[in-house]
Structure 1
Amino acid sequence: MGARPEQWASGEDYQRYMGRWSRLAAVEFLRGLPPLPGAVWCDVGCGTGSLTQTILATERPTRVLGVDPSAQFLAAAALRSDGRAEFRLGSAAAIPAADGEFDRVVSALVLNFVPDPRAALAEMIRVTRPAGLVASYVWDYADGMDMIRLFWDAAIELDPAAAAVDEGARFPLCRPEPLRELFGSAGLTRVRAGQVEVDTVFAGFEDFWRPFLGGQGPAPGYCTSLPEDHRAALRERLRATTPRNASGAVPLRARAWTVQGCMP
């Protein structure tokens, strides 16, 4: 068995799989940043707009620019926006903005997916003004993202080759020390790493399982690449190992590692 590359196209499928939980983490992430009413923000790799919308709702920005390489994700973000944000095609390695344009440059669940995190961070720094702030968060794939950990533990039990696409092994950056080192080595000051935790409660097993059929991201990409009988076996293995409470809901937790640093 194998896995196809990650797909990032369907905003609706991504929102069902990860966007709804990213929004919860975004609220806690922003609470950990120093307040700056009236700031100009850039959301790098904005996806379907979870972090952008949270900035608009909680931070009183002057302006927010969302940047993403997926036109489909940008369209979904624009539909969810109230018109106060602008969205442009771009990437973490090529932000369509001028040097020093923003007070706050942030990214959610992006740095581990870019080919060169150091180059991406350098580009984020380029568009941040002196004394501005650069910050990010990534899921703790190895130990703290219950839904993904349950999925890969079941997948690897049935197919040991699945370990090669398990995010916990693929993304060593998604830990406090590597994040702190990345930001510190880029010349940022007052670098701090932290964590946020949110509840990820699914209405039932089907609500937990269905997002893995959307193909958006490593685990869903692996799941949809499987022959039907192998996918059915994985589903039943997960049904047997996923915790449920008395009402049938699946009560899980998700932890994200955060990092921030100031421009000199």
Structure 2
Amino acid sequence: MGEVPHDRWGDAEAYERYVGRWSRLVARDFLGWLQVPQGRAWVDIGCGTGALSSRVLAACAPALVVGIDRSGGFVGAARERIGDGRARFEIGDATALPLDPATFDAAVSGLVMNFVPDHVAMLREMVRVTKAGGTVAAYVWDYAEGMAMMRVFWDVAMAVRPQDAHLDESHRFPLCQPEALAGLWQAQGLKAVQVRAIDIPTVFRDFEDYWAPFLGGQGAAPTYLAGVEDPVREQIRAHLQARLAPDPAGPIALSARAWAVRGTVTV
């Protein structure tokens, strides 16, 4: 079994093209499900380029939104894109938040928890900075089955290089299942824990719109693709095109599923 590559994060534009645009669609349904009252203070852990934070500002009438991310490139992009006086973005570690205890009414995270090696420590920090009675919630992609753009990629890549099966995100990130998420939340003493699926359409204009974001080097699959030899990369591309787009100029309609989890901090 080879070494698992260190996933790359920090290029805001490449991230937006790859999954940021789809995260924004999930965030809409996720926040509607949480039903946090207006005028509350929010913290977005692993805020990335601000997909979830921007939706909180647009839909939830918050008093404050603080975004935390370890990538300076992402934090800089969020600051530039979100010119709202209610929001601020800071560089920080999800497992050691630079925030005071019991400060926020809602602590949320989108598409990040799988990539934090110690997700127990991350959740513990989310609970620590949330007020009693507040909401702690997150969503992650269903890498095993429901996130079709990535599932198809890994199925093809592993058919080309079966020796790399351990790098498939469905194997690397077992937290992408509802039972695992619920168990993690319950183990931290959160109450009224619920998990639900959020399904969104992911429609690509053509094969290039699907394929090009995988060349951007942001995330697990693009990091993997950047590390293989050119002939292997070309094999993967050719097999994907044959499977998804016999007509390379036609649209590709897929769907994506995220698992969302929420719980309440004990009063």
Q: TM-score, normalised by structure 2?
A: 0.96
In structure 2, what is the Cα distance between the partners aligned to 1:220 and 1:240? Answer: 20
Moved more, 77-86 or 25-34: 77-86
Candidates 94, 97, 105, aligned match of 1:92: 94
Say if 1:2 and 1:222, in contact at 8 Å, map to a contact too. no
Q: Contact 1:193–1:258 (CA<8 Å) still a contact in 2? A: yes
Inter-partner Cα distance in structure 2 for 1:140 and 1:209: 20
Q: Does 1:218 align with 2:220?
A: yes
User: Residue deviations 1:103-136, cap 9 Å, x none?
Assistant: 0000001111111111111010000001111000
Corresponding letter in the other structure for 1:88: E
**2:149 aligned with 1:147:** yes
The one-letter amino acid paired with 1:30 is L
Q: Does 1:78 align with 2:79?
A: yes
Match of 1:58 in 2: 59
Q: Deviations over 1:74-119 (max 9, x none)?
A: 1111121023310011121011110001000000011111111111
- Tell me by how many angstroms 1:31 deviates: 0.9
Q: Name the aligned partner's letter for residue 264 of structure 2.
A: C
C-alpha distance in 1 between matches for 2:18 and 2:168: 16
Structure 1 gap segments, 5+ residues each? none
Give CA deviations for 1:203-226 in whole Å, capped at 9, x if unaligned: 000000000000101100011111
**4+ residue segments displaced more than 3 Å:** 1-4, 243-247
Residue 188 in structure 1 maps to residue 175 in structure 2: no
**235-244 vs 101-110, which moves further:** 235-244
Aligned to 2:123: 121
Does the Cα contact within 8 Å between 1:40 and 1:64 map onto a contact in 2?
yes
2: distance between equivalents of 1:131 and 1:76?
Answer: 32
Q: d(CA) in 2 for partners of 1:171 and 1:260?
A: 19
The 3 A distance-change label for structure 1 pair 43 and 108 is same
How far apart in 1 are the matches of 2:4 and 2:210? 20
Q: Distance in 2 between matches of 1:17 and 1:125?
A: 30
Residue 237 of structure 2 aligns with an amino acid whose one-letter code is R
CA distance in 2, matches of 1:245, 1:24: 27
2:16 aligned partner: 15
Structure 2 gaps, min length 5: none
The CA RMSD over aligned residues, in Å, is: 1.5
Q: What's the % identity of the aligned pairs? A: 46
Cα gap change, 1:244 to 1:93, in 2 (>3 Å): farther
Q: Secondary structure of the residue that 2:83 maps to in structure 1? A: coil
SS in 2 for 1:132: strand
Partner of 2:103: 101
Task: Assess if the C-alpha contact under 8 Å between 1:244 and 1:251 holds in 2.
Answer: no
| More deviation, 226-235/61-70 | 226-235
**How far apart, CA to CA, are the structure 1 residues paired with 2:35 and 2:92?**
27
Distance 1:244 1:19, change over 3 A: farther
Instruction: Provide the TM-score with structure 1 as the length reference.
Output: 0.97
In 2: Cα distance, 1:207 partner to 1:34 partner:
34
